Structure 1
Amino acid sequence: MKFKPLLTLVILFTIISCQSQTSESIKTIEVKAFAKEIKSSKKPQLLDVRTPTEYTEGHIDNALNIDWQGSHFEHEVQKLDKNKAVYVYCRSGKRSLKASEKLAELGFKKIYNLDGGFLQWTSENQKK
Structure 2
Amino acid sequence: MNTTPTLKAPEQLVSEAKGDVLTCTPREAVARIRQDDPIAIVDVRGSAEYAEAHLDTALNIPRGLLEWKIIGALPEATAPILIHCGTGGRAVLSARSLMAMGYTNVAAIDGSFSEITECMAENQALTRTEFTE
TM-score, with structure 2 as normaliser: 0.69
Deviations 1:39-79 (A, max 9, x none): 2221211100001111111122310000002xx32121112
Q: CA RMSD in A?
A: 2.0
Which structure has the larger Rg? 1
User: Shift of residue 29 of structure 1?
Assistant: 0.7
Describe how 1:66-85 pairs up with structure 2 within 5 A: 66-69=61-64, 72-79=65-72, 80=74, 81-85=76-80
Q: Unaligned regions of 5+ residues in structure 2, if any?
A: 1-15
**Is it true that 1:94 corresponds to 2:89 in the alignment?**
yes
Q: Find runs of 4+ consecutive structure 1 residues off by over 2 angstroms.
A: 122-128
CA contact (8 A) 2:30 2:120 kept: no
Q: Which residue of 2 aligns with 1:56?
A: 51
Identity rate of aligned residues, in percent? 24
How many equivalent pairs are there?
104
Q: Which residue of 2 aligns with 1:42?
A: 37
TM-score, with structure 1 as normaliser: 0.72
